[in-house]
Amino acid sequence: MDLVIVESPAKAKTINKYLGSNYKVLASYGHVRDLPSKDGSVLPDDDFAMTWEADAKSKKRLSEIATAVKESDRIILATDPDREGEAISWHVLQVLKNKRVLKDKPVERVVFNAITKESILEAMKHPREIDTPLVDAYLARRALDYLVGFTLSPVLWRKLPGARSAGRVQSVSLRLVCQREEEIERFIPQEYWSVLADLQTAAGADLQARIVAVDGNKLARLDITNETQASDIKKLVEQANLSIRSVEAKPVKRNPFAPFTTSTLQQEASRKLGFAAARTMQVAQKLYEGITLGGETTGLITYMRTDGVEITPEAIGPIRSTIESEFGKNYVPDKPRVYTTKAKNAQEAHEAIRPTDVARHPKQMAQYLDEEQLKLYTLIWRRTMASQMASAQMERTTIEIAAKDGLRSADLRATGTVVRFDGFLALYTESKDDDEDEESKRLPPVSQGEALKQKEITATQHHTEPPPRYTEATLIKRMEELGIGRPSTYTATLSVLRDRGYVVLDKKRLIPDSKGRLVTGFLSNFFERYVQYDFTADLEEKLDRISSGELQWKDVLREFWIEFSSHVDGTKELRVSQVLDTLNEVLAAYAFPPKEEGVDPRKCPSCETGQLSLKTSRYGAFVGCSNYPECGFTRQLNADGNGQDQNGADSGPKVLGTDPETNLEVSLRTGRFGPYVQLGEDKKPPRSSIPKGWELDSIDLERALKLLSLPRDVGPHPEDEKMIQAGLGRYGPFVLHAGTYANLPSVEDIFTVGLNHAVSLLAEKRAKGGGRGAAQVLKELGEHPDGGAIAVKSGRYGPYVNHGKINATLPKDIAPESVTLEQALEMIAAKAGASPKKKAAAKKPATKKPAAKKAASKKAPAKKTAAKKKPAAKAAPEGTEET
């Protein structure tokens, strides 16, 4: 029997059906190992040695695979056909080698671009070895992302408290968003006017023309700058005699667009369907893995992570045949269209995203697909078909009109395009923004010298608009243009920016948050080289050259690390005050917006003598007065000059969607203690407060379900196998184990903190002593006969036995580890029996008052200590922005 290993359980089930009983197909469930989120996972001083770690679930699956290998004759690695798929196969192979289960059994690598029976059986006929250069490129990328994250992020924590992390591609993408926001803030609207003439031909047809020249001087779009100038031109045209100077018609050919790549699919799905990039990839994954047709699971599209625009020759014939049957012979070009890409690495040698069989018309697939799947499949089907259709034939007509009034003259122009043959436009247009251009604007027939009648001349005021904020689609397009990132990383990068609170999504537009502005300002001024677009693109090109075998991956790492680590070392003497002084200047327009003329925007509005400046805390940056502590004025960094938050919120319930597990509605609401999310409408429905720093506009169904799922199990503690949990409490995000709480620096860490990091935070907290919540459990004794656990715990004044709300101090002559359940029950019973006496004693007058004061005096220091509690250790950067 042969063992086939894929990533997805859905793929495993389908492929097993295709291959038959002589094969066993198992899933790795994605990546089986990763670099632990802790220092030392990549060691530059040890020739960039990398430590890989599998989580508990992956270990179990790897054990199952290893067991199956022992019973198999041949191992076939059939993971996805890209860099990530190659890496998963490599990881699985390394684990099997380490377990010494392979022996002399042959190991082969096969790839297929579509989950269809024909594609898979054909792939099995052409096995190969693992592509070492492609794996090397993966290792280099992974090491780079880790080294940047785990080297740069601690610098941020020390020099810019409250900042989350930095990343090789993440920080450059954030800079794009921040620079666009700065352009918008600096933008000064410019007034301009347009003069349009509604005319009528001798035959009575309507014609509209615009002014293009006055008295022999050409006028560009912005050249008419005021109403006086516009009125003068309008009067000139109104008094002039108008006639046709020339008519020119030129044939124009418009070619179809290339088939979809990952980025163009994300862009078009955003524009046409309103899908976020992550949603597009989720739906595409389902289409790729397939649906049941005729009792057999069949993939509907080819692999969806690609930079290639080519279509395999065997697919061209069916596409051309379908075009002919759907539209006619004249819609089929003489020769198949061939598209090429500038892509250089092996990942990008794949073909474009296309239907596995164009005969599966979207109308036929409607009964098998949900609404989103059908929309995306239809988009891919149309784009693929259109890419092989005939060009659109158009005629572009330009009519030049002369206006004369005595010694003065003006020129007007009317343009229009007539579609003579629609070609591919019969099926597909690029985007909604282009739809207007595609509409035929037919001009009436006119002849040279023909006089025109005036209907109305209008002068209209306009103002120039600032550049638009990026959407996910336009940011991905810009990243692709600059050579930043790769198809498999775009959605992950955007998710990181949102999850860490660096950007917020408002009406599909990406707006940088104050955290993002601060981080970008810091990196751009103190690590400028590493957030430059050309530097990042150059590094991506080197990674491509590694994958093609032109460069050695460790040589690239050494070259990068020598300069990068030296630069980081040079910031050790940098003081926080220097950083803030620089950011005060760099972010002046944002942090201290201009006020009425003559008023210093940095003048403290409270004491009127101090200067406003950026300040930092463990929770982030804010604006404060230089006269602190005498003047306590502060305001949020993202607030206006009056200290009012710029984001308003509707107090009414807002339905975010339906929980897929319970089918209950998830809603966003506002209560007396602030905004929260709620599941269902029961008497006591599950609720979760919106964490501080999360914008209400950013709360979608996904984030709401994350909050409602808390607390989250991180993993069993290695010392006692008790579960560590991450959650959100009254004092912020935390990890909890056996009664010990350790703070997390941000809410996002609740969902990402790993086991190693959580154990480290808890150990640091215990080493410092104290901590809110229950004390550490020293020994679990069992269940009380009346119900509830009994345990020996460590308290401030020594060990004690606990049951519910009853605590019995342990005698000094009894060691905590030697306490038995019977002894504990006696102590608890004695303590419970003494409680009524103590309550009665507490009610007696005068004589007990000193004791009460003494008890109060003992509690006071504890409160004071809690108030001085040190901040928790900073979270280690995930270092996984690209996987």
Whether the per-residue pLDDT at 240 is higher than 70: the answer is yes
Average pLDDT over residues 735-750: 87
pLDDT band of residue 674 (cuts 50, 70, 90) is low
Structure token digits, residue 859: 């509690």
881 by Cβ neighbours in 10 Å (0-12 / 13-18 / 19+) ranks as buried
Q: What is the full DSSP assignment across 331-400?
A: GS-SS---------SGGGGSPPB-BS-TTS-HHHHTTTS-HHHHHHHHHHHHHHHHHTSPPEEEEEEEEE
Contacts 24+ apart (CB under 8 A), 680-687: none
Q: Determine how many CB atoms are found less than 10 A away from the CB of residue 529.
A: 12
Residues 6+ apart with CB under 8 A from 780: 789, 790, 791
More confident position, 865 or 506: 506
Percentage of the chain modeled with pLDDT above 90:
40
Is 742 within 8 Å of 872 (Cβ atoms)? yes
Average pLDDT over residues 609-633: 82
Q: Tell me how far apart the alpha carbons of residues 417 and 394 are, in angstroms, rounded to a whole number.
A: 7
Whether the per-residue pLDDT at 437 is higher than 80: the answer is no
Whether the per-residue pLDDT at 175 is higher than 90: the answer is yes
H helix or E strand, kind and range, residue 803: strand 798-803
Whether the per-residue pLDDT at 638 is higher than 70: the answer is no
**Cα separation values, 78 from 64, 92, 147, 346, Å:** 17, 11, 30, 17
Which segment of 242-256, 426-440, 760-774, 815-829 scores lowest on mean pLDDT?
426-440
* 303 has catalytic annotation: yes
CB crowding 598-627: b at 16 or more within 10 Å, else e: eeeebbbeeeeebebbbbbeeebbbbbbeb
Q: Is 799 helix (H, G, I), strand (E, B) or coil?
A: strand
Average pLDDT over residues 421-448: 72
Q: What phi and psi values does residue 364 have, to the nearest 5 degrees?
A: -75, -30
Whether the per-residue pLDDT at 857 is higher than 80: the answer is no
Structure token digits, residue 534: 């050309």
pLDDT band of residue 391 (cuts 50, 70, 90) is very high
**Cα separation values, 745 from 267, 703, 733, Å:** 34, 18, 7
* pLDDT for the residue 440: 54
Mark out the alpha helices in 527-623 (DSSP H runs). Answer: 533-547, 553-569, 576-586, 588-591
Is 173 within 8 Å of 70 (Cβ atoms)? no
Average pLDDT over residues 564-570: 88
Whether the per-residue pLDDT at 464 is higher than 90: the answer is yes
Is 75 within 8 Å of 94 (Cβ atoms)? no
Average pLDDT over residues 19-31: 89
* pLDDT for the residue 160: 80
pLDDT band of residue 835 (cuts 50, 70, 90) is very low
Q: What phi and psi values does residue 655 have, to the nearest 5 degrees?
A: -75, 125
Whether the per-residue pLDDT at 445 is higher than 60: the answer is yes
pLDDT band of residue 162 (cuts 50, 70, 90) is low
191 backbone φψ class: left, alpha, beta (φ>0; ψ -120 to 50): beta
The mean pLDDT of the chain is 83
Is 777 within 8 Å of 812 (Cβ atoms)? no
Q: Determine how many CB atoms are found less than 10 A away from the CB of residue 836.
A: 9
pLDDT band of residue 6 (cuts 50, 70, 90) is very high
Q: Tell me how far apart the alpha carbons of residues 76 and 664 are, in angstroms, rounded to a whole number.
A: 43
Taken in order 473, 477, 479, 485, is the CA torsion positive or negative? positive
Is 634 within 8 Å of 623 (Cβ atoms)? yes
- Comparing CA positions, the residue from 390, 430, 148 lying closest to residue 268 is 430
How confident is the model over 31-59, as pLDDT tens digits? Answer: 889 998 887 899 999 999 999 998 888 88
Average pLDDT over residues 290-307: 86
Amino acid occupying residue 184: I
Which segment of 505-514, 690-699, 834-843 scores lowest on mean pLDDT?
834-843
Whether the per-residue pLDDT at 478 is higher than 60: the answer is yes
Residues 6+ apart with CB under 8 A from 494: 173, 277, 278, 472, 475, 476
Taken in order 828, 834, 839, 842, is the CA torsion positive or negative? negative
Q: What phi and psi values does residue 603 have, to the nearest 5 degrees?
A: -75, 130
Is 9 within 8 Å of 64 (Cβ atoms)? no
How confident is the model over 870-880, as pLDDT tens digits? Answer: 333 333 343 33
């790729």: which residue's tokens? Answer: 288
More confident position, 231 or 770: 231
pLDDT band of residue 673 (cuts 50, 70, 90) is low
* pLDDT for the residue 804: 83
Is 639 within 8 Å of 646 (Cβ atoms)? yes
Average pLDDT over residues 3-19: 88
- What's the distance, Cα to Cα, between the start and end of the chain in Å? 32
Q: Tell me how far apart the alpha carbons of residues 391 and 380 are, in angstroms, rounded to a whole number.
A: 19
Q: Tell me how far apart the alpha carbons of residues 697 and 538 are, in angstroms, rounded to a whole number.
A: 36
Domains in the chain, CATH or no CATH each: 2-130 (3.40.50.140), 141-185+469-636 (1.10.460.10), 191-249+393-463 (2.70.20.10), 262-390 (1.10.290.10), 774-843 (no CATH)
Percentage of the chain modeled with pLDDT above 70:
88
| Catalytic, out of 192, 303, 490, 502 | 303
Q: Tell me how far apart the alpha carbons of residues 210 and 413 are, in angstroms, rounded to a whole number.
A: 6
Residues 6+ apart with CB under 8 A from 127: 76, 108, 109, 110
* pLDDT for the residue 431: 54
Structure token digits, residue 7: 């990533």
Q: Determine how many CB atoms are found less than 10 A away from the CB of residue 178.
A: 24
* pLDDT for the residue 641: 41
Is 708 within 8 Å of 697 (Cβ atoms)? no
Q: Tell me how far apart the alpha carbons of residues 69 and 74 are, in angstroms, rounded to a whole number.
A: 8
Work out the angle between the directed axes of helices 472-482 and 490-499 (0-180°, nearest 10): 120
Q: Tell me how far apart the alpha carbons of residues 141 and 546 are, in angstroms, rounded to a whole number.
A: 10
């001024």: which residue's tokens? Answer: 525
């006619």: which residue's tokens? Answer: 328
Which segment of 90-104, 273-287, 813-827 scores lowest on mean pLDDT?
813-827
**Cα-only R_g, the chain:** 34
Q: Tell me how far apart the alpha carbons of residues 450 and 745 are, in angstroms, rounded to a whole number.
A: 76
* pLDDT for the residue 434: 40
Which segment of 220-224, 357-361, 615-619, 832-836 scores lowest on mean pLDDT?
832-836
Whether the per-residue pLDDT at 798 is higher than 80: the answer is no
pLDDT band of residue 817 (cuts 50, 70, 90) is confident
Whether the per-residue pLDDT at 466 is higher than 60: the answer is yes
Mark out the alpha helices in 770-848 (DSSP H runs). Answer: 821-843
Peptide bond into 816 cis (omega under 30): no
Whether the per-residue pLDDT at 849 is higher than 50: the answer is no
Whether the per-residue pLDDT at 492 is higher than 60: the answer is yes
Is 178 within 8 Å of 517 (Cβ atoms)? yes
More confident position, 22 or 771: 22
H helix or E strand, kind and range, residue 25: strand 23-27
Structure token digits, residue 737: 């184990």
